Amino acid sequence: MFVAEVRPRWSDMDLFGHVNHANTVTLLEEARVDLLFREAALRGADDLARGVVVAKLAVDYKAPLFANGGALRIEMSVREIRAAYFVIDYSVRSGPSESDPVAVTASTTLAPYDLASGKPRRITDSERDFLAAWHSGGNGA
């Protein structure tokens, strides 16, 4: 699995004192960008940075998240890779340790997208290889 640490901001909290849904989704996005842009570029799969769109998003809350100055641990793995889309699963822990409780689980279905033509595109071989390294059950190395 790929692990990213994100730090909720004070402004991410709502009237009830916890990180609201829209900002939770933004934290997932920040973690996903770390995987699909930074890590992918380091491993020769920088085509993903040319364009990827979210086709589906599901978020399940187990406990509230708080902006207390600390980082959250977001664990990501690729559940499914198809010709023109892939699915990432997330576990968001309430702190930076793998022993911190899972507060949120989520998944996104993502489609590579050609911004110039305005159309979805197929996953390239280098992208498939990169995503396969993070496939559930893979070691990510």
* 3-state per-residue secondary structure call for the chain: CEEEEECCCHHHECCCCCECHHHHHHHHHHHHHHHHHHHHHHCCCHHHHHCEEEEEEEEEECCCCCCCCCCEEEEEEEEEECCCCEEEEEEEECCCCCCCCEEEEEEEEEEEEECCCCEECCCCHHHHHHHHHCECCCCCC
Q: What local confidence, expressed as pLDDT, does residue 141 receive? A: 41
- The CA distance from 14 to 64, in Å, is 11
> Cα separations (Å) of 52 from 47, 115, 117?
9, 9, 13
Q: What local confidence, expressed as pLDDT, does residue 47 receive? A: 82
- This prediction has a pTM of 0.90
Q: What local confidence, expressed as pLDDT, does residue 79 receive? A: 96
CATH superfamily of 2-133: Hotdog Thioesterase (3.10.129.10)
Q: What local confidence, expressed as pLDDT, does residue 68 receive? A: 85
**In this structure, what token pair is assigned to residue 68?**
């207390």
**In this structure, what token pair is assigned to residue 2?**
């790929």
Could you list the pLDDT tens digit for every one of the 141 residues in the chain? 999 999 988 888 888 788 899 999 999 999 999 999 999 989 888 888 888 999 999 999 999 998 888 899 999 999 999 999 999 999 999 999 999 999 999 999 999 999 889 999 999 999 999 999 999 754 444
- The CA distance from 137 to 7, in Å, is 27
Q: What local confidence, expressed as pLDDT, does residue 32 receive? A: 95
Q: What local confidence, expressed as pLDDT, does residue 139 receive? A: 44
**In this structure, what token pair is assigned to residue 94?**
């309430």
Q: What local confidence, expressed as pLDDT, does residue 137 receive? A: 58
